[in-house]
Amino acid sequence: MNIKTNISKWGFSKQGLFNNSRGEWYLFSQILLILLHLTPPYPKIDKIGFSINTFFVIIGLVISFQGLIIIIKAFIDLGDNLTPLPYPMDGSSLIKNNSYGNVRHPLYKGLVFISLGICIFTLSLIHVILLILLVFILKIKALKEEEMLKIKFPEYKIYMKEVPAIVKNIIYLDWRF
């Protein structure tokens, strides 16, 4: 499949770019926040001892790597059902096994872990702010996605009650009802 076919299959439209009809703005906000993680740390902390700095670097890298593994597994588990917009594609099926058996939005969980790892790795206030903004956007996007999934898949309501949203036992990221 070519890129134009995928974009159309995912539900992108010119009109949606202007009125956010399928959550395009959430996606673009998410992408912007992810790209902003490439900014240098601020404030730059130079006076931390070598062993403490090494500890934060290692912990941050491990958490980010774990997030990357979560994302890769979720991509594989989702297969042809993958869409960057918070609307299920026509002909898609509900995936509730493998990584989707642990959390409803493992891709978002992976992004949160990567962002958290970068915060720890860089010890940067600006990256903490980016993490908070990313979590906010991902929750809004996930809630929108869940509205559509409940309409398309009535069994999604039961799944929502049984499986945490993004991170288990963190109230803002686990809104089981």
Domain boundaries, the chain: 49-173
Q: What's the pTM value of the predicted model, to 2 decimals?
A: 0.85
Q: Predicted confidence band at 19 (pLDDT cuts at 50, 70, 90)? A: low
| Residue 53 · residue 41 · CB < 8 Å | no
Q: Does position 4 have pLDDT exceeding 70, yes or no?
A: no
Mean per-residue pLDDT for 41-57? Answer: 75
| pLDDT single digits (tens) 64-84 | 999 999 999 999 999 888 888
Q: Which of 165, 150, 158 is nearest to 87 (CA)?
A: 150
**What is the structure's pLDDT at 27?**
78
**What is the structure's pLDDT at 86?**
81
**What is the structure's pLDDT at 71?**
97
**What is the structure's pLDDT at 176?**
83
Q: Does position 103 have pLDDT exceeding 70, yes or no?
A: yes
pLDDT over 90 for what percent of the chain? 57
Q: Please provide the CATH number assigned to the domain covering 49-173.
A: 1.20.120.1630
- Cα distances from 46 to residues 43, 49, 104, in angstroms, run 9, 9, 40
Q: Predicted confidence band at 62 (pLDDT cuts at 50, 70, 90)? A: very high
Mean per-residue pLDDT for 39-60? Answer: 78
**SS3 per residue for the chain:** CCHHHHHHHHCCCHHHHHHCCCCHHHHHHHHHHHHHCCCCCCCCCCCCCHHHHHHHHHHHHHHHHHHHHHHHHHHHHHHHHCCCCCCCCCCCCCCCCHHHHCCCCHHHHHHHHHHHHHHHHHCCHHHHHHHHHHHHHHHHHHHHHHHHHHHHCCCHHHHHHHCCCCCCCCHHHCCCC
